[in-house]
Structure formats: structure tokens, C-alpha cells
Structure 1
Amino acid sequence: MLTLNEAKSFLKIDFDDDDSDINSLVLAADLFVVGASSQNVDKESELYNLACKLLVNHWYLNREVVGKADKLAFSLKEILFQLKYTTVAP
């Protein structure tokens, strides 16, 4: 599973002011990716980690009340599709 430090590194953040918010985004990204792909998703896979990083980045940079789903990268949709059909045994 993606860690706070990995997320901050991906976001290029070297301060601690937003740690609580970023940690919440990491947890939400985990729930989102698992729900959108498969309950048996391999949380150790690079695709899983990349999907979580992309979501955290998108949510962190777009914190307005009005969503900007059109900004969500096409690559995330493809990664979620791959994760959905490349699951690990329960």
C-alpha cells in the first residue's frame, strides 16, 4: 500500500503541513482503487501504487468543491481496467 512518504515524494512535497490531508487522500485512494478494480487487487503491484499516486496527485491539486473529473488522466482509467482483470487469488 502507498505510504505517506511515497505520496509526498510523488507530489514533490518536502513540508509536513499537509500530512494529515495527504494521508487521508492516500487512504481514500486505496479504497477507490480497490473498489474500482477488484476486491482481490494486488496492493504490492506497481500498477496499484501508480493508480493510488495518480489519484492522490489529482485530488491534492484539485481541492475545489466543484470537481474536475475531465482532468483525471486517461492512464488512470486504463490502469484500473488492468487491475480489474489481473487480480490475485483470494
Structure 2
Amino acid sequence: MQVKEIKEYLRIEHDEDDSYLEMLVVRAKMYIRNGVGKLDDDNELFKMAITVLVGHWYDNRELSRIGNNSYSIPHSFEAIIQQLRYCYVGVDAE
């Protein structure tokens, strides 16, 4: 997944955060793989999950905000993860 795709989704026009976004992509892939297991990097749902998670982390850099304990991950992300868990049922995990 390219930072360019993430920037298009998030409507970021500057290049100042590119290295930060690259770091978030790497961490999002790790986070998703830890929750799902083996995944195909070309799976469009996997790419969407990365995009949603990176967008969430990018927009919510603080640990918490006043009047709210934390920023919860959007329900759409959880739904995508649920789908990915069953994408490769019967396929050996690495």
C-alpha cells in the first residue's frame, strides 16, 4: 500500500507527513496481521482496513481528549477485520 493512496483517501495535499504516514502504514499492517493472521497484500479489504486504521490514527494522535476517555476505532474497521478473518478459512497460516 502506497502513501499516495492514503493521502488521496485522507485528502492530504502536502508532503510534510509522508514519513509519519509510512510509519503508520507499517504499524497498521502489523496490527491487522496480529488480529487476523495470514493475509494477501493484494486483498482490497486488507488495503481498506489499512487505510481506515491509518486515517483513524492520523486524525487522533492524542491518547485521549477532554470529555472523552479515548478515541475508539470506527465500527467499519471492525467489520472489515471480521470479514478478513474468514477470507482464508482453511488456508494454512504462516
> Using the alignment, how far apart are the partners of 1:87 and 1:3 within structure 2?
24
The alignment partner of 2:15 has SS state of coil
| TM-score normalised per structure 1 | 0.86
- DSSP-derived class of the 1:9 partner: helix
Structure with the largest fraction of helix:
1
Q: Sequence identity, in percent?
A: 34
Q: Distance in 1 between matches of 2:29 and 2:5?
A: 14
Normalised by the length of structure 2, the TM-score is: 0.83
1:58 alignment counterpart:
56
1:47 to 31, 45, 48: 45
SS in structure 2 at match of 1:35: helix
2:83 counterpart residue number: 82
Q: Distance in 1 between matches of 2:40 and 2:80?
A: 13
Alignment partners' CA distance in 2, 1:33 and 1:87? 14
Structure number with bigger Rg: 2
**Greater relative CO (CA pairs within 8 A, separation 6+):** 1
AA at the equivalent of 1:61: D
Equivalenced residue count is: 86
1:73 matched residue in structure 2:
74
Is 2:26 the partner of 1:27? yes
Give 1:65 shift: 2.3
Unaligned runs of 5+ in 2: 65-69
